[in-house]
A and B are shown apart, each in its own frame.
Chain A
Amino acid sequence: MLTLRYKAETPIPVEVEGLTPSAVRTMPLAEIERFEIFHGNRKRPLAEFFDVSGDPSDARLEFEGSLSGVHWIGAQMSEGEVHIRGDAGRHVGSEMTGGTIHVHGNASDWVGGEMHGGLIHVHGHAGHLVGSAYRGSRLGMTGGTILVDGSVGNEVGLTLRRGLVAIGGNCGDFVGANMIAGTVLVFGESGNRPAAGMRRGTVGLLGGHPPALLVTFRKTCVCKPPVLRLALAHLQSLNFLVPDDCWDADYGVYNGDRVTVGRGEILVRES
Chain B
Amino acid sequence: MSTPVATTKPAEPGTTLIEDSTCTFCGCVCDDIDITVKDNHIVDAKRACVLGKAWFYNHHADDRPSCLIEGQPASVEAGVERAARILTDAKYPIIYGLSDTTSEAQRVAVGIGDTIGGTVDTTTSVCHGPSGMAFQGVGEVTCTLGEIANRGDLIIFWGGNPAESHPRHFTKYSLMPKGMFVPNGRKDRTAVGVDVRKTKTAKAMDLFFQIKPRADFEALWTLRALAKGIDIDPEQVKSDTGIELARWQDLMDRMKAAKFGVILFGMGLTMTRGKHLNSEALLCLVRDMNAYTRFVAKPMRGHGNVTGADNVVTWQTGYPFGVNMSRGYPRFNPGEYTTSDTLARGEADAALLIACDPMANFSQPARERLMAIPYIALDPKDTPTTRAATVAFTTATYGINTPGTVYRMDDVPIFLRPAFPSSHPSDFDVLSAIQRRVTELKK
Contact = CB atoms under 8 A, between A and B. Distances in A.
Find out whether A and B make contact in their complex, taking CB atoms under 8 A apart as touching: yes
Interface string B119-152: 0000000000000010011000000000000000
A136 B91 CA distance: 28
A109 B334 CA distance: 11
Nearest to B278: A193
Interface string B325-344: 11100001111100000000
A109 B91 CA distance: 22
Given A42-B91, A259-B224, A11 B230 contact: no
A174 B250 CA distance: 29
B2 interface: no
A49 interface: no
Contact of B274 (A15, A110, A136, A193): A193
B350 to A, nearest CB: 10
A13 B92 contact: yes
Given A135-B137, A216-B232, A11 B347 contact: yes
Interface string A78-110: 000000000000100000000000000000011
Contact of A13 (B116, B117, B239, B347): B347
A259 B284 CA distance: 10
Nearest to A39: B91
Contacts of B91: 12, 39-42
A258 interface: yes
B240 to A, nearest CB: 6
B321 to A, nearest CB: 11
Given A39-B91, A215-B232, A135 B225 contact: no
A214 interface: yes
B99 to A, nearest CB: 21
Contacts of A136: 136-137
Contacts of A12: 91-92, 347, 349
A90 B281 CA distance: 27
Contact of B333 (A11, A39, A134, A215): A134
B228 interface: yes
A177 interface: yes
Interface size class of B (residues with CB under 8 A): 35 or more
A215 B118 contact: no
B441 to A, nearest CB: 14
B116 A135 contact: no
A196 interface: yes
A128 B232 CA distance: 31
A214 B217 CA distance: 9
B218 interface: yes
B196 interface: no
Given A40-B349, A41-B92, A135-B137, A196 B333 contact: no
A17 to B, nearest CB: 9
Nearest to A155: B277
B92 A216 contact: no
A40 B92 contact: yes
A104 B34 CA distance: 66
A6 interface: no
Interface of B: 90-93, 116-118, 133, 136-137, 217-218, 221-222, 224-225, 228, 230, 232-233, 236-237, 239-240, 273-274, 277, 281, 284, 325-327, 332-336, 345-347, 349
Interface of A: 11-13, 15, 38-42, 90, 109-110, 128-129, 134-136, 173-174, 177-178, 192-193, 196-197, 212, 214-216, 258-259
Given A40-B326, A41-B325, A214-B218, 14 more contacts: A41-B90, A41-B92, A41-B117, A42-B91, A90-B336, A128-B335, A134-B333, A135-B334, A174-B277, A193-B274, A212-B239, A216-B221, A259-B221, A259-B225
